[in-house]
Amino acid sequence: MKKAIIVSRKEFTADMISATLKNMGYSNISTFVSGSEARRYILNMPADIIIINSPVNDESGAELAVYAAEKTAAFVIFLCSRDIAENLADKLSSFNILVLSKPVSSATISDGIKLLDADTAHFSDIRELDEVMQRICDIRLINRAKSMLMKYLNFTEPQAHRRLEKMAMNNRCTRRNAAKKIISELT
């Protein structure tokens, strides 16, 4: 169940954003008119996306956007007037906050959410690739340690494998760390 938080003092804008989110599969949507009200909720109820329509009742909203980006794993979209959007975009982009200039349509918000979703999927793929590359490096290191045991101590491959496994188990470490230790001892 996708959760969203909308912070907007204008009911019409909040309703438009809410309808857009519902069309995109968000079923649990909470709406607030003030930053202080939203801050309390943000910490207690994690959301997938937080959309702030500035200004909110008790602040400009930019501080709330930064707060939400730092304290949660949610996507943050900040809506502001065109005259300050460019300046704020530079400052807020370092917090991974998407800044959209008003007036916005439901299509613009939908496109912004899709952009954030695509960006997350891209980074997820990169993270998976990094994990695979790390496993390949681990396998190479383990095989190097086994071959050194076979070369310098005349172990057979099964004996080298057992030595590495036993060393990892006895030292309560990973096979990677056990392989590093074997390599350092034999070089």
36/126 Cα distance (integer angstroms): 36
3-class state of residue 3 by DSSP = strand
- How high does pLDDT run on average in the chain? 85
Which residue in 57, 97, 99, 63 sits closest to 82, CA to CA? 99
pLDDT of 123 over the 60 cut: no
Query: Does the pTM exceed 0.75?
Result: no
Query: What was the pLDDT predicted at 96?
Result: 83
74/115 Cα distance (integer angstroms): 14
Query: What was the pLDDT predicted at 39?
Result: 86
Longest CA–CA span in the chain (Å) reads 78
Domains of the chain (ranges, CATH numbers) = 2-104 (3.40.50.2300), 127-186 (1.10.10.10)
pLDDT of 180 over the 90 cut: yes
pLDDT digits (tens, 9 = 90+) for 101-122: 888 888 888 888 787 766 555 5
Tokens standing for residue 75: 């996507």
pLDDT winner (highest mean) among 88-97, 123-132, 159-168? 159-168
